[in-house]
Amino acid sequence: MKTVIIGGVAGGASAAARLRRLDESAEIILLEKGPYISFANCGLPYYLGGEIKEREELLLQTPESFYNRFKIDVRVLSEAVKIDRQRKVVHIKNLKDNTEYEESYDKLILSPGAKPIIPNIKGINRKNVFTLRNIPDTDKITEYIAEYSPRSAAVIGGGYIGLEMAENLYLRGLEVTVLEKASHVIGSLDFDTAVEVHNYIRSKGINLILGEAAEEITDSPDGKTIIKTANREIKTDMIILSIGVTPDTALAEDCGLELAPNNAVITNEHMQTSDKDIYAVGDCVMVKNLVTGEPAHIPLAGPANKQGRIAADNICGIKSVYKGSIGSAILKFFDLTVAACGINERAAKASGLDYDKVFLYALSHAGYYPGARNISMKVLFENKSGRILGAQLVGFKGVDKRCDVLSAAIRHGFTAYDLEELELCYAPPFSSAKDPVNMAGFVITNIIEGIVKQYHWHDIDRLSKDENVTLLDVRTEREAARGCLERSINIPLDSLRDRLNELDKSKPVYVVCQSGLRSYIACRLLSQNGFDCYNLAGGYRLYESVTKEKEKTPSLQNGTEL
């Protein structure tokens, strides 16, 4: 059996190694148009920032090491330019000498990955405008910084890579601006979760501009580069484009393989394309979103590695199946950790799911043990079943392990009742007896079972104008004096039992506290005394942070979707 693999890095290199482990006699050829077959592209920002000291640490395999370990014929600087499906050959261009030749195959694996999106912006083709996708990109940025000593940088795009680049350029001593077209950074988050990230970005001295798109790049008289938006001009010395990626599927399209509307390759669960002898893996393929069941493009290293292994299995007669992805991802931004898994509200609405959400502020470990930090959690769930649909977490400690647990829960169809029952490791330095994941389960089941009803920050504008409801603030007088909901009555929780006569039982009572805990207790008290009561999810803290963020971003006043 002769297998040709087009593209290395995560998917292609994993497929090649698995093929050899399964079949010692197989002929395996790996083609890579770049100079490196396997490198840590997720580590590139950290090399630029100096956290990873040596460039060689990014190189996971070389052609020589791959051949010595696996006897795989690796050809770098070898670009596949055409696939002849009828003859089962690949036309290859040797980029070292510009010669071309053909290579036959029995099975073919496509792993070309994705390429950076380059927006159609006037003036974008400049020597100080960069993308970051591979080691040559990293070298160009490093060389530019060494030669020109820029003092400022603008990152266009506030996704995971964009923020990692912002941090690492800042650590190199540059003044950094992040320009994001959307209403918030990190597309897998919702606006109400992202506001905490926004506040932290600004606290680090990074200029964050939201809701504005770059429209033109030009020069200023003082030698700076200017990014023009509809509202302002941003002066900078260099620009990083981090808008996202698109599947690199020109080869697949040219040879007539079935593609999705976004040009990603369509495969079956065995990673086979519309041609039974051609497989595709990694950032170039469509997968199934396990939460919604719908097709999705989820370009992540973990899924790419698994898909490469599954393609190799099937070529060797093992009927492995790729079931789909839930898009689990995580970001370190200075000391802050941001993580998400499953779907966000935008995706839930688009899929027509009957869902709701809860907000929690839980400590990373037992509060009496030194060093506990808050974790902000938003968890989406299906209303009737309690199935967990998605989670978003922001904090400084313990975020990764909680998101990993929730990711596993989502993948296996867990409900809130399952979260309640999870037996997770507990000792004061690591968690609490009721872990934050358990707490999410408790909060959700209270809602499903009707023990408490809730309302959300985006309901408050409507409720504050409704004379037929009571807004009740159960925080202390001092807390309420620092800021409260319009028309709200302040009765501290500890006084509430003795002051029930001050409330009108004929009106629904919408209760608020700082985080949602005291208002939950108040709702239980009120409900058992004949009141129709609702608890503000996330509390005044969430409402205040979202409201202030909307005020900072003029474009959000014009109906921009949050």
Q: Torsion-angle region of residue 252: left (phi > 0), alpha (psi -120 to 50) or beta?
A: alpha
In angstroms, the CA 373 to CA 363 distance is 5
Q: Please tell me the predicted confidence (pLDDT) of residue 42.
A: 84
What confidence score (pLDDT) does residue 50 get? Answer: 86
| 233 beta partners | 228
> Would you place residue 294 in the very low, low, confident or very high pLDDT band (cuts 50, 70, 90)?
very high
Average pLDDT over residues 65-90: 95
Q: Is the pLDDT of residue 561 over 70?
A: no
**pLDDT the model gives residue 10:** 84
The catalytic position among 42, 341, 425, 484 is: 42
Write the single-letter amino acid at 562: L
Return the closest-CA partner of residue 444 out of 416, 410, 405, 415.
416
Task: Please determine, for residue 562, whether its predicted confidence score (pLDDT) is greater than 70.
Answer: no
Give buried/exposed letters for 16-54 (b at 16+ CB in 10 A, else e): bbbbbeebeebebbbbbbbebbbbbbebbbbbbbeebee
Strands 225-228 and 216-219: antiparallel
pLDDT at 135 (0 to 100) = 86
277-295 mean pLDDT = 97
Instruction: Decide if pLDDT at 20 tops 80.
Output: yes
Alpha-carbon span 328 to 298, nearest angstrom = 10
- Residue 558 DSSP SS3: helix
DSSP labels for 54-70?
-GGGGEEE-HHHHHHHH
Spatial neighbors of 520 by CB under 8 A, at least 6 apart, are 446, 452, 535
- Sign of the C-alpha dihedral, residues 274, 276, 278, 282? positive
CA angle 179, 212, 358 (to 5 degrees): 80
- For residue 47, pLDDT beyond 90: no
What average pLDDT does the segment 432-439 reach? 96
**Would you say residue 558 has pLDDT above 60?**
no
Structure tokens at 453: 């009803």
User: Within a 10 A sphere around the Cβ of 562, how many other Cβ atoms?
Assistant: 19
pLDDT value at position 251? 97
Tell whether the model's pLDDT for residue 466 goes beyond 90. yes
Distance CA 200, CA 395 (A): 10
Residue 349 token pair = 């609405």
pLDDT at 103: 97
Please state, in angstroms and rounded to a whole number, the distance separating the CA atoms of residues 444 and 420.
9
Handedness of CA 45, 48, 51, 55 (dihedral sign): positive
560 pLDDT tier (thresholds 50, 70, 90): very low
What's the rounded Cα separation, in Å, for the pair 315 and 3?
9
pLDDT at 556 exceeding the cut of 70: no
How far apart, in Å, are the Cα atoms of 300 and each of 41, 44, 160, 311? 11, 15, 11, 17
For residue 559, name the pLDDT band (cuts at 50, 70, 90). Answer: very low
In this model, does residue 463 exceed pLDDT 50?
yes
**pLDDT of 133 over the 80 cut:** yes
Residues 315, 107: contact at Cβ < 8 Å? yes
* Banded pLDDT at 48 (limits 50, 70, 90): confident
Q: What span, in angstroms and rounded, lies between the C-alpha atoms of 448 and 506?
A: 25
Helices 191-203 and 539-552: crossing angle, nearest 10°?
Answer: 70
Q: Pick from 447, 448, 505: which is nearest to 472 by CA? A: 505
pTM score of the predicted model: 0.94
CB 226 within 8 A of CB 234: yes
- Give the separation between CA 108 and CA 106, rounded to whole angstroms: 7
In the predicted model, is pLDDT for residue 476 greater than 70? yes
118-127, 297-306, 339-348: which has the highest mean pLDDT? 339-348
Specify the higher pLDDT residue, 242 or 38: 242
pLDDT for the residue numbered 168: 94
Instruction: State the pLDDT confidence band at 551, using cuts at 50, 70 and 90.
Output: confident
CA distance 205 to 67: 48
- Residues of the chain above pLDDT 70, percent: 98
The reply to whether 42 belongs to the active site is yes
Q: What span, in angstroms and rounded, lies between the C-alpha atoms of 138 and 49? A: 11
Rounded Cα gap, residues 65 and 43, in angstroms: 20
CA dihedral 341, 342, 345, 349 (to 10 degrees): 170
Q: Is the pLDDT reported for residue 317 higher than 70? A: yes
Per-residue model confidence as pLDDT tens digits over 357-396 = 999 999 999 999 999 999 999 999 999 999 999 999 999 9
The arithmetic mean of pLDDT across residues 21-28, rounded, is 96
Q: Are 223 and 420 in contact (CB under 8 A)?
A: no
pLDDT at 554: 61
The set of residues, in sequence order, having a beta carbon less than 8 Å from that of 78 and lying 6+ positions away, is 31, 32, 33, 92, 93, 94, 95
Q: Give the other-Cβ count within 10 Å of 207's Cβ.
A: 15
Determine how many CB atoms are found less than 10 A away from the CB of residue 531: 22
Q: Is 102 exposed, middle or buried (0-12, 13-18, 19+ CB in 10 A)?
A: exposed
Under 8 Å between Cβ of 163 and 178 = yes
Q: Left if phi > 0, otherwise alpha if psi is -120 to 50, otherwise beta: which for 450? A: left
Residues in the chain: 562
- State the Cα–Cα distance between residues 208 and 201, nearest whole angstrom: 7
Q: Which long-range contacts (CB under 8 A, 24 or more apart) does 471-476 make?
A: 471/510, 471/512, 472/503, 472/509, 472/510, 472/511, 472/512, 472/522, 473/511, 473/512, 473/513, 473/540, 474/511, 474/512, 474/513, 474/518, 474/519, 474/522, 475/512, 475/513, 475/514, 475/518, 475/540
Mean pLDDT, rounded, of the chain? 94
Sheet holding 216-219, edge to edge: 216-219, 225-228, 233-236
